[in-house]
Amino acid sequence: MDEEIILRVIENIVSNAFRYAKKHVYIKCSVAQNLFVFEVTDDGKGFDREDLKLATEPFYKDKSASNSNHLGLGLNISKILCQKHDGSLILSNEINGGAKVTATFSLIVDKK
């Protein structure tokens, strides 16, 4: 695993959670089925339908975001980096509200 790449993904999704959280951000790390799983949830408004479909696309910005300094590339880059590690980036909402972002990275090393 490339530590710098994984840390970049983690930094991105944690900073997004802090940007949108009301008061709390929760972080969970685990290993399951040869995957390193990093979950970040917040108690913010969560993702709307459009966000769930498009937020990992390049240059996508949440229309309600007050900070226009962001280019809308963070989740897109994070998704690509997860995929390059045979993982994924999944966006969802918590049952009681708030966003959830799950990044996975394969722990199996291809020694070709």
Q: What angle do CA 103, 109, 110 make, to 5 degrees?
A: 120
> What's the rounded Cα separation, in Å, for the pair 29 and 23?
20
Q: State the maximum Cα–Cα separation within the chain, in Å, rounded to a whole number.
A: 47
Pull the structure tokens for residue 100. Answer: 């959830």
What is the chain's pLDDT, residue by residue, as a tens digit (112 residues)? 788 999 999 999 999 999 999 999 999 999 999 999 999 999 999 999 999 999 999 988 877 665 556 778 999 999 999 999 999 999 999 998 899 999 999 998 765 5
Strand pairing category for 35-42 and 99-106: antiparallel
What's the topology of domain 3-106? Answer: Heat Shock Protein 90 (3.30.565)
Q: Tell me, what's the pLDDT at 112?
A: 56
C-beta separation of 51 from 91 below 8 A? yes
